[in-house]
């Protein structure tokens, strides 16, 4: 089952809240009872053979690498090849070339990509596996601790080029930008979340062009971005929360205040600081708590994608995704991201069951959709 970005962003706060408030227990169903986790068929990794090809998001990659390592440790003898290409390039391999079995993604798949998949006979399956709080980071030697959204817009579009133009107390030194490349779902998400999708930034191409104006150093490898930021007190960049957690002894996560509104022409406007309290605006750092509450403006869903035909034709892929969903919340937490709710994970499990023609338990989105279609 597929959803566009607006649906995911509306549901994101609830999904994180349910997952983090009750990380080890069921969540309440609409009738007041608990939602029990769906138990997928037990997987014996030793009993399946064949190779698995995966590509896509550098943000999701640590989760998939950790999952693959555990799958191998539990007996899988095949090769699991994982390429860190960025979300868009991952979908190119999955939906156009058909050269991968699973696509890691830090944004929902686009309709055009779904159509590309359909053109090669692939009916897309979407599995929500975790939540990220995209982190804007600087080195420990940087004077920057807090930035507003309006300042982020100015910095990352090149409207300001020296730190003293952002804050007179900061040094008159050039701002050094380190960002994911344009194939990255992180780059795409940052453009939507920070620049917005209205007015001059309504089109994706316009957002991309704006973010490339200051000629940032780009890489699809988040570790390269981390190294770049660590190399200078004048550097700033952004990547998934897990990469910040890995380097939090040498990096600082910048607190962000969402001070932007839009005027009658859909142009972004900074809310004066004296009006912040009345409008509930404050600086917020990325954390499990702020993701849970919805306070942190750069929270986003993490996915893996496959296709019905792939699961049906390649038992090793079906087994690995089963194993992935069964262990998702544990591995996602260990990797530095946030787990999804029992209900959200159940819907991913229901998609897996439905793809293989197995019975889908009542109460999931997939079961409801199947019932509606039958009627």
What's the pLDDT tens digit per position in 275-329?
999 999 999 999 877 876 678 999 988 999 999 999 999 999 999 999 999 999 9
**Distance separating the N- and C-terminal Cα atoms of the chain:** 18
DSSP SS3 for 4: coil
Rounded Cα gap, residues 246 and 191, in angstroms: 24
pTM: 0.79
pLDDT of residue 61: 95
DSSP SS3 for 299: strand
Nearest to 326 by CA among 101, 105, 15, 45: 45
- Architecture of the domain defined by 5-132+299-374: 3-Layer(aba) Sandwich (3.40)
Strand 268-270 to 27-28 pairing: unpaired
What's the pLDDT tens digit per position in 224-259?
999 999 999 999 999 999 899 999 999 999 999 999
**5-132+299-374 matches 135-285 in fold:** yes
CATH topology of domain 135-285: D-Maltodextrin-Binding Protein; domain 2 (3.40.190)
What does the domain layout of the chain look like in residue ranges? Answer: 5-132+299-374, 135-285
DSSP SS3 for 170: coil
């Amino acid at each position: 089952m597929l959803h566009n970005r607006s649906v995911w962003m509306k549901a994101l706060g609830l999904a994180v809240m349910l997952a983090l408030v009750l990380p080890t227990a069921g969540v309440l169903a609409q009738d007041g009872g608990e939602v029990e986790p769906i138990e997928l068929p037990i997987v014996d990794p030793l009993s399946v053979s064949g190779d698995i090809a995966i590509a896509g998001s550098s943000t999701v990659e640590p989760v998939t690498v950790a999952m693959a390592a555990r799958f191998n440790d539990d007996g899988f003898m095949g090769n699991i090849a994982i390429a860190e290409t960025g979300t868009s390039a991952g979908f190119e391999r999955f939906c156009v070339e058909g050269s991968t079995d699973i696509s890691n993604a830090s944004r929902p798949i686009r309709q055009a990509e779904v159509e590309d998949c359909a053109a090669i006979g692939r009916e897309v399956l979407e599995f929500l596996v975790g939540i990220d709080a995209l982190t804007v980071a600087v080195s420990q030697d940087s004077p920057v601790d807090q930035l507003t959204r309006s300042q982020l817009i100015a910095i990352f579009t090149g409207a300001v080029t020296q730190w003293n133009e952002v804050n007179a107390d900061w040094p008159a030194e050039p701002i050094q930008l380190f960002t994911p490349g344009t194939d990255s779902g992180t780059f795409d998400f940052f453009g939507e979340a920070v620049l917005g999708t209205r007015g001059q930034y309504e089109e994706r191409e316009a957002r991309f062009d704006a973010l490339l104006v200051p000629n940032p150093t780009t890489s699809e490898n988040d570790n390269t971005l981390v190294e770049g930021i660590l190399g200078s007190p004048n550097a700033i960049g952004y990547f998934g929360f897990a990469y910040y957690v890995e380097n939090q002894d040498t990096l600082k996560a910048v607190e962000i205040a969402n001070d932007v509104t839009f005027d009658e022409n859909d142009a972004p406007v900074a809310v004066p600081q004296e009006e912040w309290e009345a409008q509930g605006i404050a600086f917020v750092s990325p954390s499990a708590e702020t993701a849970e509450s919805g306070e942190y403006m750069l929270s986003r869903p993490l996915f893996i994608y496959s296709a019905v035909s792939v699961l049906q034709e390649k038992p090793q892929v079906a087994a690995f995704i089963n194993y992935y969903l069964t262990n998702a919340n544990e591995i996602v937490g260990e990797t530095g991201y946030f787990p999804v709710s029992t209900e959200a994970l159940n819907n991913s499990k229901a998609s897996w069951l439905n793809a293989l023609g197995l019975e889908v338990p009542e109460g999931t989105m997939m079961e409801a959709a199947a019932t509606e279609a039958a009627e």
